[in-house]
Chains A and B, each alone.
Chain A
Amino acid sequence: MSLPILVFVLLALSVAGYVLGRGRAMASAGGDARKLHSLPNYYGWFGFLVALLPAALMLLLWLPAQSVVIDTQVSAMISDRSAAESSRGLVMSDVERVAEGLDLAVDAGVLTEEQAASIRTEFTDVRERLGEVGVALGSDVTSETLQAAQRYRALSSTGDLLRTLAVVAAALAGLAFVYRRAASTFRARNAVEAVVRWILILAASIAILTTVGIILSLIFNTVEFFSLYPAWDFFFGLTWSPSFGGGSELGILPLLWATLYISFIALAVSVPIGLFAAIYLSEYAGPAVRAVAKPLLEVLAGIPTIVYGLFALLTVGPLLVDIFGDGGVLGVGWMGGGTAVMTAGLVMGIMLIPFVSSLSDDIINAVPQAMRDGSLGLGATHSETVKQVILPAALPGIVGAILLAGSRAIGETMIVVLGAGAAARLSLNPFEAMTTVTAKIVSQLTGDADFASPEALVAFALGMTLFVITLGLNVIALYIVRKYREQYE
């Protein structure tokens, strides 16, 4: 039975469980709902959940288990010789493709089930036969691969049959349990609520699972990368020149430098503007100005980063070249092309203005009114109050906000992919093109590279570095902000 049909059958059985549970309970109460412990629908839901959950859980565990078992069984068939030529994973994906092709061929009627299980490469050109049904294979099928694929198919079909049996049996056992338990004295509501509570806990744990998933996926691949490429060279290498032919130099320092440089420019743009805007809006502006200007500034935060990326590439870059480039307004010739650290930094700064301003706004508003009144009462002007009382009081929060903005800038991708350039270099000139950690993650993983090569795996090490840096910044920022809040609340 195929998976969608099995799921459908399972759902049908669960609905049967609902009817059964409700019916049994009502029957045991003689049709009088008042004699039941819980409302009749709770018995129904109890039946539904008992039929569905164990079977669904079994199915969920079965799916990965089956693929792991089949993988180990089949990959044992691949001799070490062919696995040495290319990686074992590649051979396995070939096997899977051939097996998939045989399935399609059987579906299309090109081969019968027996033929699919018994053809040999010695007698048939499998590649051609599969080509007829639209499965293109990169290379000729070796007899070993074909046998592995046939074994794969045999194991899969046995596995699917067992899976169906197991799941249906679990659902039926659930129904039997409902049949026995659903009586008027049974506390169905408590049972259902306990299950619902577990579902809620499970949903809340997804946040943990996501973090664990991120960390595991980064760590496994990073470790694999460091087994192919020395960690020292990665962290302290001054050159970044990947070449997919091998012999690449993958030093992170130029990337890190550009990332920090761009973030610095972005903060240099966004912090003064954002902070002054926040001060003006919270301390000076009347309610009418505030009601208009604040949401309008926040529109900047709602614009997708791809828009900023395009803005950097097609508008700001050429504009800067007109000013700072060869034959530009200033005639300085500092800038060769539109993509540069300055372009990306400037645009990213614009993007971060509302981020800085709304965070600072909250923090400035949290400073107690009494401190303002005290300062004004002593004869300070408004600006003196802001500079000498409010800002010092709000400083930890503002530092936190700037750190958060910095972590945003470091993790930003689209603006630097489009606006910063593609060449990695260590340079002080902000009008030169450089490339960042995020931009290189994208370029290393979107090529046609083999996932097992260090040139692709380096992206995970870069991701790990990025994750650690941004996480560190966020933790420090949240710590500062929280600590500060405690003072006044």
Chain B
Amino acid sequence: MTDTTAQTGRAVAAPARKGSLLEVDSLTRKRNAAEARFKMYGLSAVIVGLLFLVALLATILSNGTSAFTQTFITIPVPLERAEIEAAEKSIVKTSKYRAIIGTAFANVLSSAGIETDMSAKDLDKMMSSGAAASVRDFVLANPASIGTTHTFDLLASSRVDGYLKGRVTREDLINDKNLDAAHLDIVDRLSAAGIVQKRFNWQFIFGADASDSRPEQAGIGVSMIGSFFMMLVVLVLSLPIGVAASIYLEEFAPKNRFTDLIEVNISNLAAVPSIVFGILGLAAFIQFAHLPQSAPLVGGLVLTLMTLPTIIISTRASLKSVPPSIRNAALGVGASKMQSVFHHVLPLAMPGILTGTIIGLAQALGETAPLLLIGMVGFIASNVPDGVAAGFLDPNSAMPAQIYEWAKRADPAFYERAWGGIIILLLFLMTMNIIAIILRRRFERRW
């Protein structure tokens, strides 16, 4: 029954389609349109994905590049012996230095022909609160300079800096208790006179973190050192352990329950959320083993556990790609199984292993969440560690944790630092990935 109806249906439709096959009928047109639409969807998905990438990178660059310049005020400060001795004797030494700088700044203003009725205290707000400390450090480091006049490049306050970078506008300052429009008029005149200038900000790259009130002084250098020590731990532990584990699994392991258990564990660990590794680090290394909190050593241990699965998976792939003929040849001339692996297979697989390790390290370098749990966050990247042991054991932050720390702070001046930090972090990641690609292109052998 159904057959006949179907046939009659087709028979009825058939006469409607006249003309040759070369003529495009409406159904074909519809199908072709659907085809074109489908292709468009696909293409637009790719384009949307790439647009997101462009938007992300553009945001990073447009917000972050300004962190690499900083506003400085050039002031010749007369370092009178009497004044400095008085300052060193007082309890709050920096405030005395502030007064010295304040006078010098007033002199600069008057010699530049800028009239102002502002008090010295108000003028002082244009300078970073760290300025006095940097003058004092200079004097303590160069006692010979006492009695001379030395020209200092002192950091301007973050508001002045923000004004010159376009982040702070006059309207923003109406409710600001630190700075008002009159200050900005002075800044305009000073920058026209070349006394206030933006320069490349080395302190951001090499300096230490600064407290909430001094965003203009904050730098990522110390947390970079923290990241460096962490990466050392990760490299030293995860490369040998990962390679050893892969060699066992790929070359020696018999097919049994135990090996299966290891395999299942590795593939599951690769997908465990990173924060869970942070919990493990907190409970196992800090609560149980009493390792110091916030130490790059602990951070490195946690990241090692996290990167091991990645390294094992890529190492196994490169061991697998070494053809069996190499092993057979080695065994044929009398090498033991162990010798064939360590003398022949491993060296041939090395480029692939190193590539995988670098990519694993890059992943570890950008990881933040586990570091928060073991305390590598907060105002801790404030001193350069003195010595190697201190580098591993003293509280420090890491680049991504430092960026997080800045992103959390209230002053928008820190946001610029956070974006700048991201540029540096991404530069590191890019370099590592490019090295990995070059290694792969250069040394990988196709058999």
Question: Which residues of A does B touch, CB under 8 Å?
Answer: 64, 67, 189, 193, 196-197, 199-208, 210-211, 213-214, 217-218, 220-221, 272-277, 279-281, 283-285, 293, 296-297, 299-300, 302-311, 313-315, 350, 353-354, 357, 381-384, 386-387, 404, 407-408, 410-414, 417-418, 438, 441-442, 445-446, 451, 459-460, 463, 466-467, 470-471, 474-475, 478
Contact = CB atoms under 8 A, between A and B. Distances in A.
Interface centre among A201, A297, A438, A474 (most CB of B within 10 A): A201
Interface centre among A202, A277, A300, A438 (most CB of B within 10 A): A277
Given A210-B269, A276-B41, A442-B369, 14 more contacts: A203-B245, A204-B244, A206-B245, A206-B308, A207-B312, A208-B262, A210-B265, A273-B48, A293-B50, A306-B425, A314-B419, A357-B49, A463-B275, A474-B271
A142 B277 CA distance: 38
A303 B426 contact: yes
B266 interface: yes
Nearest to B415: A314
Contact of A277 (B45, B273, B362): B45
A304 B400 contact: yes
B262 A214 contact: no
B280 A404 contact: no
B241 A206 contact: yes
B42 A276 contact: yes
A95 to B, nearest CB: 13
Interface stretch (B78-86, B103-111, B126-134, B371-379): B371-379
B338 to A, nearest CB: 4
Contacts of B139: none
Contacts of A445: 279, 282, 372-373
B35 A204 contact: no
Interface stretch (B69-77, B172-180, B248-256): B248-256
A478 B266 CA distance: 13
Given A207-B262, A305-B369, A314-B407, A273 B45 contact: yes
A273 B49 contact: yes
A305 B290 CA distance: 29
Nearest to A38: B336
B370 to A, nearest CB: 9
A466 B261 contact: no
Interface stretch (B52-60, B116-124, B145-153, B161-169): B52-60
Given A210-B305, A297-B50, A451 B280 contact: no
Contact of B60 (A204, A279, A307, A438): A307
Contact of A280 (B43, B52, B247, B403): B43
Contact of B245 (A204, A414, A442): A204
Interface in B251-298: 252-253, 261-262, 265-269, 271-280, 282-284, 287-290
Nearest to B34: A383
B446 interface: no
Contacts of A213: 280, 284
Contact of A414 (B50, B240, B253, B404): B404
Contacts of A459: 279
A217 B312 CA distance: 24
Nearest to A206: B241
B111 to A, nearest CB: 41
7 contacts: A196-B338, A205-B262, A273-B45, A302-B433, A304-B366, A414-B404, A460-B279
B265 A411 contact: no
Given A211-B269, A218-B279, A470-B271, A314 B63 contact: yes
A470 B270 CA distance: 11
Nearest to A289: B46
A210 B415 contact: no
Contacts of B249: 204
B248 to A, nearest CB: 4
Contact of B274 (A189, A211, A413): A413
Contacts of A189: 336
Interface of B: 31-32, 34-35, 37-39, 41-46, 48-50, 52-53, 56, 59-60, 63, 240-242, 244-245, 247-249, 252-253, 261-262, 265-269, 271-280, 282-284, 287-290, 305, 308-309, 312, 336-338, 362, 365-369, 372-373, 375, 377, 400, 403-404, 407, 415, 418-419, 422, 425-426, 429, 433
Contacts of B60: 307, 311
B252 A200 contact: yes
Contacts of A308: 56
Contact of B38 (A309, A386, A467): A386
A307 B35 contact: no
Contacts of A285: 46
A381 B31 contact: yes
Contacts of A221: 283
B276 A197 contact: no
A382 B32 CA distance: 9
B53 A296 contact: yes
Nearest to B429: A302
B336 A207 contact: no
Nearest to A473: B271
A474 B268 contact: yes
A293 B51 CA distance: 11
Interface centre among A202, A314, A404 (most CB of B within 10 A): A314
Nearest to B50: A296
B359 to A, nearest CB: 8
